[in-house]
Amino acid sequence: MLLHTQELSWEALEHLVVALAVQVDQAVEARPFGRNGQAQGGIDVVAFFASGPAAVYQAKKYERFTASDLRKAALTYANGSRPFGARRLVIVTTADVRDTKVDLELARLRGQHQDLVIDLWGRQQLSDMLFALPDLVRRFFGEHTMQVFCRPLPGQEEQADSARAADRLELENYSTHLDMYLRGHLIWLPR
């Protein structure tokens, strides 16, 4: 099942990318770069990390994403001034990127720009990431979509219930042993 990413507005897509930079990539800070209309050098979002260089993201609201679109997006950043010292470029699109030409172009660009990690997140990759993030699905796609898209698969509910029961039993056993230990080893002082 895939989310209808193509229905996001451009602004919502940019904010989703900021949220994914923080929640998936573990950035300590992420924000849109610049204002609409400013020269951004192929950067829509910049993310900063506790250790390591910044990463930059491009948000592309496209119905169809081609090898040419990928090349243009990557080269805009790779051949630009590369602010923030970023060594990772993530191109995010609402379109499906399953295409041999896109995959081959991505491999070619990675080979040409070995000093830069180039990632491509399309509709499938976004859906895969968001499946485990129901709060983001609710925020960007609505409550109903979250209820349908993020529902546990058959068998997962039983596994989660079993794990919770095991955790509860372990805690009860620990509490019992701690209580027995404390009763046997504490000396009550008279008042």
pLDDT, residue 188, reads 58
pLDDT, residue 8, reads 95
Averaged over 162-171, what is the pLDDT? 69
pTM of this structure? 0.78
Averaged over 87-116, what is the pLDDT? 97
Domain 5-149 classified CATH 2.40.300?
no
Question: What is the spatial distance between Cα 58 and Cα 56, in angstroms, rounded to a whole number?
Answer: 7
Q: In the chain, what are the domain boundaries?
A: 5-149
pLDDT, residue 38, reads 82
What residues contact residue 36 under an 8 Å CB cut-off, 6+ apart?
Answer: none
Averaged over 131-140, what is the pLDDT? 95
Does residue 176 surpass a pLDDT of 80?
Answer: no
Does residue 164 surpass a pLDDT of 80?
Answer: no
